[in-house]
Structure 1
Amino acid sequence: MTLKTTTSNEVTNPLPAPATSAGRLLTADQFQRLADVPPEIEWFANLGNKATRRAYENALGDFMKFTGIVKPEEFRTVIRAHVIAWRDDLVQRALSGMTVRHRLAALSSLFESLCEKNAVTHNPVKGVKRPSVESYEGKTPALGDHQARKLLDAPDGASLKSKRDRALLATLLYHALRREELCRLKVKDFKHEGRGVPHLKVFGKGGKIRYIPLHPAASGLIGDYLEVAGHGADDAGALFRPLRNNCTTGGLERAITPDAVYKLVRQYSAALGFAIGAHALRATAATNALDHQADNAKVQEWLGHANIATTRIYDHRKTRPEDSPTFKVAY
């Protein structure tokens, strides 16, 4: 920070004038307490995604229980031997290799943050051998084309529920959205245009925004739903809404929940004989796009993946027997 010297040799402070006590939002005591927050607590508080917070909380809680850690500062005494012992305990509990890897990744994320803040000199999780996994192929099933068509047609009739559910299923199957992304959609988010083509504005993981061309079939179904629902002009309100208990004060902006979306998909698919969760529709859309020669990098961007290796998990083409080299052999 540079200080300026005036002609009268007086030193002036370049910082803004301090706020008056009346305009101050934090008291001096609150300011000091926030300044004293351990970096371990600060790291956890900075995790924005609820699912990530929940997974990391479970992982670190397990590690603290195993090691007897009580205070956040005690993480700074952890060495690699502690981490290896915990890993071996997780394996002995017959947890899957992927689960063990995820828990080690959560602990590693904490120590990376502590290293950045100079609270520790190194990350003790680095170098700890992770258990192997059978395959990085996704376990989420992908529907065949005929099953996807049946699911799209499952909500039958002209009721508000049927129109909403058809539009919701089409939005998932044609755009490969996560449940949380679908629930965050506002009415205005399906009214964007790019080069004359309607787009969906999608708020993904980590606050990342992506614009996805809106499939004509989904666009028509969303329009039909909004016409009957009557909230098409409520741009700031939720696009997909629950059908009941949504007329109370402020309720018009309330969105359908991820849990309700899961149950909706589960109910329709079970009635058709293949009970699946909502995530299977994301895998279905990705697989279908790849089946029809979509570029891997484009699919990665479409899905909102940071790493193309994650996108390959959704590529179920190699699991089809007819594509095996066995059937390419000819004598």
Structure 2
Amino acid sequence: MESLVRGFIHYLGVERGLADNTLASYRLDLSQYRDFTRAQGLDPVGENGRRAVMAYLLKLKRDGRAPATISRHLAALKSFYRFLLNEQLIGVDPTANLESPRLTQRLPRVLTAAEVEVLLAQPRMGKPGGLRDKAMLELLYATGMRVTELVSLDVEHVNLDHAYVRCFGKGARERIVPVGSLAAHYVAEYLARGRTKLTRGKSTPALFVNQQGHRLTRQGFWKIIKKYARQGKIEKVITPHTLRHSFATHLLENGADLRSVQELLGHADISTTQIYTHLTRARLKEVYDQAHPRA
């Protein structure tokens, strides 16, 4: 089992180009499954593989795991066994025809346009760190990038003359995203007056760096945006993707078509983008209730 999991993870990383965080998630889920089957004396790749899978899913349910968690574990098992079947390492897929638990769709939290303005106004641009933070927040809201994509940017990925940025999403898929004039202005300000002071002469391709001159991490960005949310007295819960969700919702509210928003976000499947149409419909209902005299 151990060598099979290693082969599967290698396949996901090399042939499918999945991100390190995704590989780590697969590795953890499959190691938990391996430990369970070992403790129960079950053979996960033998003739009774179906029994092993069902026993594991039942354990997760008895442990009180959320449907989303069970669904994620099942998805990992499905991918793993499909790989083994394609490699002819097993004759039958024990996860065939197994359905994931029904999930309640949770709408992403978004900021209003006014709240975004408050958030973006918080960084003090008199210091290099403030210039960096202003550039990051403006760029994130202007492009809808994932935070991982933002902190992975190199200087060469940003073309301010033609107002676009090259970013690399899930599966290392590259896409070109336009950058608004305000965001381009603040990125230029950061490059001219902030980045060199933060790098302190160190050579790094990273666009956004921390106080030590190293590439800023996702966790570092999360701390920064939460600080500015508190500073701006924004009461909504802020996550690393809050500006991405707000970007998509505001575009749709202002007339952008769904396919364009899908391209900008880098979603492989338009059904992922459709979640934001629920938000805009909810907003329309709210406006109706507030404005119509007989609502």
TM superposition score normalised by structure 1: 0.77
> Of 69, 75, 78, which residue of structure 2 is paired with 1:105?
75
1:30-54: CA deviation from partner (whole Å, max 9, x where unpaired): xxxxxxx944311112333122122
Q: Identify the residue that residue 250 of structure 2 maps to in structure 1.
A: 288
Displacement of 1:204 in angstroms is: 1.1
Query: Are 2:52 and 1:88 aligned?
Result: no
Which has the larger helix fraction? 2
Contact 1:154 1:268 in 2 (8 A): yes
Matches within 5 A, 1:1-331: 38-46=3-11, 47=13, 48-68=18-38, 74-77=43-46, 78-135=48-105, 137-138=106-107, 140-191=108-159, 197-229=162-194, 231=196, 237-243=205-211, 245-246=212-213, 254-271=214-231, 272-274=233-235, 275-315=237-277, 316-320=279-283, 321-322=285-286
Return the alpha-carbon distance in structure 2 between the equivalents of residues 87 and 127 of structure 1: 14
Larger Rg: 1
Q: Which has the higher contact order (CA 8 A, sep 6+)?
A: 2
Aligned-pair Cα RMSD in Å: 2.9
Displacement of 1:293 in angstroms is: 1.4
Return the alpha-carbon distance in structure 2 between the equivalents of residues 328 and 68 of structure 1: 63
Return the alpha-carbon distance in structure 2 between the equivalents of residues 57 and 51 of structure 1: 10
* Pair 1:114–1:229, CA change in 2 (3 A): same
Return the alpha-carbon distance in structure 1 between the equivalents of residues 69 and 110 of structure 2: 22
How many aligned residue pairs are there? 280
1:241-300: CA deviation from partner (whole Å, max 9, x where unpaired): 112x22xxxxxxx31111101111111112223341221111111111111111111111
* Pair 1:100–1:185, CA change in 2 (3 A): same
Match of 2:247, SS?
helix
* Pair 1:319–1:55, CA change in 2 (3 A): farther
Q: Percent identity?
A: 25
Displacement of 1:110 in angstroms is: 0.6
Contact 1:187 1:235 in 2 (8 A): no
- Give ranges in structure 2 of 5+ residues lacking alignment: none
Displacement of 1:107 in angstroms is: 0.9
TM superposition score normalised by structure 2: 0.85
Return the alpha-carbon distance in structure 1 between the equivalents of residues 289 and 30 of structure 2: 45
- Give ranges in structure 1 of 5+ residues lacking alignment: 1-36, 247-253
